[in-house]
Homo-oligomer: A and B are copies of this chain.
Amino acid sequence: MSSVSEGPRPGRPMSADTDRAVREATEELLAEVGYAGLRMQDVATRAGVGKAALYRRWPSKAALALHHLIGDLRPRDYVDTGSLRGDLAEVAADFVARMAHSRVRAVLPEMMADLLHDGALQAVFEQVCLLPERELITAVAERAVARGELTCLPELRWAHAQFAGPVFLWLTMLGGDGDRELIDRVADSVAASWAYEKERNA
């Protein structure tokens, strides 16, 4: 198990040009051969950098691929709509948009195994994707409590699973669309579940 500091360092550029060349090569190859067919050597060759240099910055192809998904995975800014249902729809719309992105949809299921086994990669994923998402959901719940729409905060790790789980399955295994209907379904089901907790606690 590597520590977080040994993981990829997305904030430290090699050089702007090299970084751009590696990004373009990775995105092109992901589109051409998919995650399973991606080879570090091919990325290095196409980007015109040494394989050793590539490995110094990204210790695995999973880390490299994740780094190039980060822009698509990171949640957008939070919008306060003035109501719980409205806020949930904002967060759901953002979440669905990210998960339905063709690159994320193609690569994320293939990275599942690597994410579960590689501690360093998991730490980056947690930092870039899971934590900011949980913070967004927390902010929505806290505002609802402040407005009196909820009496107490829901269990946030479970709330996160309620948001992310059905969307992930819907877009991958169940072959569904990332449309307005999906966004409303996610917002409705989380709103209903939180209201149910409120009633039970009342």
Contact = CB atoms under 8 A, between A and B. Distances in A.
Interface stretch (A11-19, A55-63, A170-178): A170-178
Contacts of A172: 112, 116
30 contacts: A36-B113, A109-B113, A110-B112, A110-B116, A112-B112, A112-B113, A112-B172, A113-B113, A115-B173, A130-B173, A130-B174, A157-B174, A158-B166, A158-B170, A158-B185, A160-B174, A161-B165, A161-B166, A161-B167, A161-B176, A162-B166, A162-B189, A164-B165, A188-B193, A188-B196, A188-B197, A192-B192, A192-B193, A192-B195, A192-B196
B188 A161 contact: no
Contacts of A4: none
Interface of A: 35-36, 109-110, 112-113, 115-117, 130, 155, 157-158, 160-162, 164-170, 172-174, 176, 185, 188-189, 191-193, 195-197
Q: Chain A contact residues: over half helix, strand or loop, or mixed?
A: helix
B166 A116 contact: no
For this chain, the copies found in one complex come to: 2
B173 A169 contact: no
Contacts of A165: 161, 164-170
Given A109-B112, A109-B116, A176 B157 contact: yes
A116 B112 CA distance: 12
A157 to B, nearest CB: 6
